[in-house]
A and B are shown apart, each in its own frame.
Chain A
Amino acid sequence: MKLPFKGVIDCDLHLPSPPTTALLPYLPTHWRDQLETRFIHKMNFQLTSYPPNSPLTCREDWRAKKGDGESDLDRLRRQALDPFGVDIAVASLLHGAIALFNEDMAAALCSAVNDFVAHEWLDPEPRLRGSILITGQNTDHAVAEIERLAHDKRFVQVILPVMGDMLPGKRQMWPIYRACERHGLALALHAGSTYRFPTTGSGWPSFQVEDYIANSAGFENAIVSLLSEGVFSECPNLRVICLEGGFGWLPTLIWRLNKEWRGIRQEVPWITRQPGDILRERFRFTLQPVEVPDAALIARIIGHIGSDDLLLFSTDYPHAHFEGVEALPDGLPEALIRKITRDNPLAAYPRLSGGASANQPEKAEQRS
């Protein structure tokens, strides 16, 4: 169904990956030279998780028409912001730099992408919020990038692929989470893999659709990792936003972890309350793709999860999950829609908690 009111917060929206030449002005001279002389600037850095022409990567009617002269920004406004009555959209640019093994080149490109986003998207379009893209393979680079951009309050989260260089709970990753917590940035885990490891525990499947389905397992193991390693003992205020991984699998995750914890908590004695309770407090999940088939089942799943605070509205634009502007499952009760489109997102992101008109940060600041 359509959104019944305007002023929603879209928590997962994607900016198109620019031609690499567009990043050159944002790169230090060494890397600009490297890209140009190695012809890397002619390469497109498209992630294998999102092959450009796949029916999932972009809805057919949202694809750019060659030669129509419309700018990327205008297209985004016309297709993703205006029709859904978006007040705030938390945008990310899932750039393929994160899949490189050269961690210095990856970090330089991530910085360029972040500056590109700030100048080309956040400056002209006040409804957009940004995600700081980092490379997870080098914590020093990642923390430096967060520190470099933390002053810009339009960045509301730090983003990593859910299947990256290591399970996200690993202690090597903690400096990143400390930086997030220090600056009130959420940690966003987005569907997708850098393909450091096979997408299943039995190796590589044959088809792209299998990799896409495997994202839920990726999220489950990532969450189990963050919880069992004790990340929330270290960073009790860290908020983790799980993007595009679904939520139908949450009840099993909560039940199993709670049961497991009772029997084998001595292995992870820093967990001093039910892992499911920590999960309900610290993790949030975006709506699209809604796999749960109808509103009645969604209500049951929310009942099994034991909280309706966890879902955040998303279109996942331009990934293809619904037709027209029917961004909500049919029959969702209005009170729940209000929660997931406004209340939950505002509560989820420390940097959005300024109030309802967070799209006008100045006003929000005056009020507080």
Chain B
Amino acid sequence: MNVPLPSVTSAQKIGIVDCDIHPVQRSAADLYPYMSQRWREHSEMFGPHIRQGLTGMQVYPRMMAAGQRADSYPAGGGPPGSDLDLMRSQHLDAVGVEWGMLVALSKGGMEERNPDFATVLSHAVNDWQRHDWVAKEPRLLAGVVVPQEDADFCVKEIHLRAQDKAFKQIIISPRSAEPLGRRRYWPIFAAAQECGLPIGLHPAAFSGGAPSTSAGWPTYYMQEHYAFCTGMQGNIVSMIFEGVFEQFPNLKIALIESGFTWMPAMCWRMDAAFERMRKEVPHLKRRPSEYIRDHFWFATQPMEEPENPAHLPEIIEWIGWDKLLFSTDYPHWDYDDPRYCIRFRMTDAQRSMLFRDNARALYGLP
């Protein structure tokens, strides 16, 4: 991997769709225009109430500058991802983003334990995305953030936002209280299918109750970060084996920031186990890998970097070039710069699919 840095690729010429951009509030007050006085007071007095031992910070402190690109802190203060001008100059303009899909992880209520506050946060974050981001920067598109544990509210919020063309997907937390295939979440899938919005799953920093691994809590961030992959796997297996895609044949899922190279092996693994155990899950009419093929898309960041870069396109062949969505994860530390992060050869057609066309098709972008 001797680093002849690829010269600036034609990514820029294509105009890319970045499927993972994180907008962040400067402080909780950014949301106050979108909530009532009662909840502003609640927010100030009690703040978030989540399932971990620290409030206002992570129990696995990140390594690089609080998990952000160290160069993404706005000069005028505020956290990375809170300054639209910097996002434009450092990211959107710099790398040629044609469309940027917002994944608003911060304060959206997905992990809030107070159920009413969760709905207020969700509604406020969606308003905030709409007015503070999309209205100001037409390249950005929003995702309806909903607290998945309250399916009734989710359904209402999804139907409300679906009428607004600014919203192109639904964001729920894969660190849910139960694996996402469980029936308590089906109303969300029904609403998503009805509104024709894909569901975007992005690893969450905060637990929904279970430890991040099946043998308990890890010690280091290095482990916690790895569990982004394995945590997502549990949800996918759940959605498939519970029969979500038998029930909702038009449901589409985008897996964001949880890796994609494990997917072929996971398909083989699921198919093999299904072969032996199909009597336990007779509601499945097809092999698990077939549901994956029809219902799942994969965002690329963080791009794997095998010792032999040619191994990566082999994996992509197995998944299908039409299933990858390019993503940068701006402004997080493991940002993938589209000009440099592809270290293997692609045809022009593959390049267009990966950087732009797959996402356009999935999200119905012009």
Contact = CB atoms under 8 A, between A and B. Distances in A.
B265 A200 contact: no
Given A55-B276, A199-B214, A300-B314, A249 B234 contact: no
Nearest to B233: A217
Contacts, number: 245
Nearest to A250: B265
Contacts of B208: 202-203
Interface stretch (B10-18, B173-181, B246-254): B173-181
Contacts of B143: none
Given A167-B223, A229-B219, A248-B268, A209 B277 contact: yes
A221 B226 CA distance: 8
B312 to A, nearest CB: 9
Contact of A252 (B211, B277, B304): B304
B350 interface: no
A203 B148 CA distance: 14
Interface in B193-208: 207-208
Given A54-B277, A255-B305, A228 B209 contact: no
Given A197-B214, A228-B222, A246-B269, A56 B238 contact: no
A94 B356 CA distance: 51
Nearest to B311: A304
Contacts of B216: 165-167, 196-197
Q: Give the bracket for the number of chain B residues in contact with chain A.
A: 35 or more
Output the residue of B215, B223, B233, B304 with the most chain A CB within 10 A.
B215
B334 A263 contact: yes
Contacts of A292: 265, 268
A205 B181 CA distance: 8
Given A255-B306, A259-B304, A206 B242 contact: yes
Nearest to A59: B276
Contacts of A188: none
Contacts of B84: none
Contacts of B222: 224, 228, 260-261, 264, 267-268
Interface of A: 54-56, 162-170, 193, 196-210, 212-214, 216-218, 220-222, 224-225, 228-229, 246, 248-249, 251-252, 255-261, 263-264, 266-268, 289-293, 297, 300-301, 303-304, 306, 320-321
12 contacts: A169-B219, A198-B214, A200-B235, A200-B238, A202-B208, A203-B177, A203-B179, A213-B266, A221-B214, A251-B311, A292-B265, A300-B314
Given A200-B179, A218-B215, A224-B222, 8 more contacts: A55-B279, A201-B210, A202-B175, A205-B181, A217-B233, A218-B213, A252-B259, A255-B306
